[in-house]
Chain A
């Protein structure tokens, strides 16, 4: 306990952040010019942080492994971004967004952080619109909103099904502006391989230039890890192929505690796996649940085509089980319900591991509305369908196209087949209120930290958190640290700590090449993914988790004896990049299982089969587990747990219900 100080400011919840902002130490402009900040990652959190810190006057270097900052995986977020603007006049407020997020996270997040997130949410929308992000608008010229899961208001802003793309390109343009001004040095095709600590503080990183293969040393007065989540530990996920845990994991091994590693989000609506060749899974945005209805046949093992099953023989199980929220229950609830139906033999499609997401009623409903607005009072069935299709196309066109490209089926005619898939990780590096990890000077932002989503993230909240951390939180909180560093001169990268860190990174690369084994990196990654999905996926139990730990250890040993990495270290070598990342996943996977084993309650996305209500809902054990599990790496794959107790001073903690 003693090692964790969350540094939550005193005072009433609503005033904590305001008071903090007006009392936090500042750094004057002249001093900012001599303070260097390294930002690792260029997604929403990284790009917005790098640009904003540079605008403020800090010297910034930003790193990404892709060929351009614009390609970070935030770009793939589809549905939207939440903000408590209450433009719809439907009763939204900062408090409601805060409340929905805490409840959605199944009471496993910090009140103070979440309240701050909710209170800066409106500023994010203002900032994005000012920087030219073309969010969807109504005919009156005002911004449009839609609903997302786990809420009863419309607070989600969007840009068709490409909200992440538009927000990231907005943040990227701000970043490129600073690059043009010479205040940010952009290091694309660079991968961070380690952090460098000097006298107990993080003072830089070791990065590999992915083209030349050369290891580089970079000094910074502070280092920001904005490196996203670790869903790719499951091999198949909605993450990009390159998304990895290496930066966070290396930091963890150098002293940064890892918070709630087992909290994984399995997204309910993804295109199902079609074969062994599959390399990744594709999400169908949660926004589709605004208009799509989820169902399976009432009869087990029904082999009829979807269109041949009459209305009365369909089980709209979410509407049946959760009448108050219906198809818009939170993701963890929707995912488990789909798994329950498929496990019970009601699944559809060739694999029987899928459920339908059907737009027939929406097409009919929109068809009527559009016919009326067009002044057509006796529309034909064809006209209705056409009109309805037009409206649905305008809302979700790109998603429907994507679905058709991948599956070869037309979702305007047949319902989509969907199944849950790994999507996001709520766990991540433990950070205090300042977003600082347990290593002084090392921060974690966005999905890379553990802080705001508890045990389950609500839809459209990842974009909100990434930009909140980068645009509005770190620019203040970093001052608390850097104001004390103004007399620290830049440390030479010839310092022994840099030399040693580079040597260690080189040793790992040399070791990988020296194995000269027989199996590809993907072989091991797929095996690890299967263990994780089967035993640390949507449902977990003690026996399975114990088996998984043993299996991962064995697989890790095999990897270090038999992996084959071809080519040389001094060139562009994608296999080497993958090998380093999978080596880290092989350690992280074990810690995730250890954490899942320790937490013998169910909460949010973490479902322990031993802990459920009679109706099969997740059963929390608040007296035992109302804490953040922050794991310290003790070396040689040994871990020690530290607990940060969660205090709920404003919200009354209760069993979550969406019925």
Chain B
């Protein structure tokens, strides 16, 4: 069994609710094991706070294996922390050094209002999906799954886009708080598949319109989203979405 050997200083954003102002509060933590995940380190801190009678820190998390997309901490100025290709729950304390000071904030974006502490409201993403991130096929409509062969390269590319976990790191890291990477990943996935082509025109127009309405910013191609995406969603998707968008507008 591992023993903790790291002492750290945490500066964590505390905010009672969306109506109140928040601030960074400093908490020392001792005896942290490098084998702990970042969230397990938070568990230790919360346990300490409860013992002291202080209210524990609210943060979103669920699967703790990097796939549900619920965890969402902005750590030392980077979404999901310093390591590339991982979510906060899969970030381990071995990525930090004894004595480090770590600043933890919520996702910052106008379209993601803070609910409490490190918890934000990402329901804007759901609303965008509900405008076109689907194929309109009712249960029972489907033909045999092998009736339409799909080239492996297309299927693989669609899968790579579909691997998006909807965490919002792309928005959090973007200086414009743009949701282009998220939206383009869904548009790409469906644009690459023959089943998705039928509704392609309406899809891109409706989803982009909703994205704008939610208050996400524009894309200025800085590429931070691709760097910070824990699932490696590629900027190519944004290019593909732009093409789809132009074509859709020309068609109408």
Interface residues of A (CB under 8 A from B): 48, 51-52, 55, 66-71, 73, 75-76, 85, 87, 123, 125-143, 159-160, 162, 164-166, 169, 172-174, 176-177, 179-180, 186, 188, 211, 238, 240-242, 274-280, 282-283, 350-351, 401-402, 405-406, 408, 471-472, 475, 520, 522, 564, 566-567, 571-575
Contacts and interface: CB of A to CB of B under 8 A. Distances in A.
| Size class of the B contact interface (CB-based, 8 Å) | 35 or more
Contact of A277 (B16, B43, B67, B134): B43
Contacts of A165: 67, 163, 165
B189 A408 contact: no
Interface stretch (B139-147, B169-177, B220-228): B139-147
A414 to B, nearest CB: 17
B33 to A, nearest CB: 6
Nearest to B62: A240
Contact of A132 (B65, B119, B195): B195
A66 B50 contact: no
Given A69-B126, A73-B63, A177-B134, A405 B86 contact: yes
Interface string B180-213: 0000000001100101100000000000000000
A68 B125 contact: yes
B17 A131 contact: no
Given A131-B134, A522-B43, A574-B56, A242 B62 contact: yes
Contacts, number: 223
Given A169-B162, A240-B64, A405 B144 contact: no
A132 B189 contact: yes
Nearest to A178: B130
Contact of A188 (B66, B123, B158): B123
Nearest to A180: B130
Contact of A179 (B3, B130, B149): B130
B142 A130 contact: yes
Contacts of B122: 67-68
A402 B126 contact: no
B58 A572 contact: yes
Main SS class of interface, B: loop
A141 B36 contact: no
B65 A48 contact: no
Given A66-B62, A123-B142, A162-B67, A136 B125 contact: no
Nearest to B141: A130
B202 to A, nearest CB: 12
B8 to A, nearest CB: 14
A276 to B, nearest CB: 7
A127 to B, nearest CB: 5
B94 A408 contact: yes
B21 interface: no
B36 A280 contact: no
A254 to B, nearest CB: 27
Given A282-B65, A406-B90, A575-B56, A68 B126 contact: yes
Nearest to A68: B126
Contacts of B140: 127
A137 B189 CA distance: 15
Given A169-B162, A241-B61, 8 more contacts: A130-B145, A131-B137, A132-B135, A143-B146, A173-B133, A186-B126, A275-B2, A275-B35
B196 A70 contact: no
A245 to B, nearest CB: 16
A141 B35 contact: no
Interface in B1-18: 1-4, 16-17
Contact of B126 (A48, A176, A401): A176
Contacts of A133: 162
A140 B149 contact: yes
A141 B150 contact: yes
Contacts of A75: 63, 67-68
Given A241-B62, A475-B139, A279 B43 contact: yes
A48 B139 contact: yes
Closest 8 CB pairs of A and B: A141-B149, A180-B130, A130-B142, A173-B134, A126-B142, A134-B159, A129-B145, A134-B158
Interface centre among B62, B66, B94 (most CB of A within 10 A): B62
